[in-house]
Structure 1
Amino acid sequence: MCTLEKRGNIYLLTLTGSGEHRFNPSLLSSLRAALSSLLSSSHPSNSALITCAEGKFFSNGFDQSWVRTAPPSEHHIITDLHKGLISDFLSLPMPTVCAITGHAVAAGCMLALVHDYVVMREDRGFVYMSELDAGIKLVKYFTVFFNEKIPDNQTRRDLLLRSARLTAHEAMDRRIVDRVAHGIEDTIEEAVGLAEEVAATVSDGSKLAEKRKLMFPETWRHVSAAAGSKL
Structure 2
Amino acid sequence: MCSLEKRGKVYILTFVGDGEHRFNPTTFDAISDALKQVEQSPDAAALVTTNAGNCFSNGLDLGWIAESPHDRFDIAIQKLEDMFAAFMRLSIPTVAAICGDAVASAFMLALAHDYRFMAQGCSELYLCELDLGLHIPESMLTLVRSKLQPAALRDVVLGASKLNAQVGLERGILDGVFEDSERTLEAAIKEAEKLAARGWKREIYRGFRLATFPGVVEALDTHVPYRIPASFKL
Alignment TM-score > 0.5, same fold: yes
Equivalent position amino acid for 2:18 in 1 = S
CA contact (8 A) 2:140 2:220 kept: no
The equivalent of 1:157 in structure 2 is: 154
Q: Secondary structure at the match of 2:215?
A: helix
CA contact (8 A) 1:202 1:208 kept: no
The equivalent of 1:63 in structure 2 is: 61
CA RMSD of aligned residues (A): 1.4
Q: Give percent identity, aligned residues only.
A: 35
Q: Of 174, 178, 188, which aligns to 1:177?
A: 174
Equivalent position amino acid for 1:4 in 2 = L
The equivalent of 2:86 in structure 1 is: 88
In the alignment, the residues of structure 1 paired with residue 199 and residue 174 of structure 2 have an alpha-carbon distance, to the nearest angstrom, of 21
Cα offset for 1:53? 0.6
Q: Of 210, 218, 222, which aligns to 1:221?
A: 218
Q: More deviation in 91-100 or 66-75?
A: 66-75
Cα offset for 1:225? 5.3
Q: How many residues align?
A: 223
**Which aligned runs of 4 or more in structure 1 are off by greater than 4 angstroms?**
none
The normalised TM-score by structure 2 is 0.91
Cα offset for 1:82? 1.2
In the alignment, the residues of structure 2 paired with residue 74 and residue 102 of structure 1 have an alpha-carbon distance, to the nearest angstrom, of 27
CA contact (8 A) 1:28 1:78 kept: no
The normalised TM-score by structure 1 is 0.92
The equivalent of 1:22 in structure 2 is: 22
Equivalent position amino acid for 2:87 in 1 = F
Cα offset for 1:23? 0.9
In the alignment, the residues of structure 1 paired with residue 122 and residue 3 of structure 2 have an alpha-carbon distance, to the nearest angstrom, of 23
In the alignment, the residues of structure 1 paired with residue 139 and residue 67 of structure 2 have an alpha-carbon distance, to the nearest angstrom, of 24
In the alignment, the residues of structure 2 paired with residue 224 and residue 142 of structure 1 have an alpha-carbon distance, to the nearest angstrom, of 11
The equivalent of 1:8 in structure 2 is: 8
In the alignment, the residues of structure 2 paired with residue 124 and residue 73 of structure 1 have an alpha-carbon distance, to the nearest angstrom, of 35
- Structure-2 change in CA distance of 1:163 and 1:202 (3 Å): farther
The equivalent of 1:132 in structure 2 is: 130
The equivalent of 1:198 in structure 2 is: 195
In the alignment, the residues of structure 1 paired with residue 12 and residue 222 of structure 2 have an alpha-carbon distance, to the nearest angstrom, of 27
In the alignment, the residues of structure 1 paired with residue 182 and residue 122 of structure 2 have an alpha-carbon distance, to the nearest angstrom, of 13
Equivalent position amino acid for 1:27 in 2 = T
Q: Secondary structure at the match of 2:97?
A: strand
In the alignment, the residues of structure 2 paired with residue 71 and residue 177 of structure 1 have an alpha-carbon distance, to the nearest angstrom, of 33
In the alignment, the residues of structure 1 paired with residue 114 and residue 140 of structure 2 have an alpha-carbon distance, to the nearest angstrom, of 17
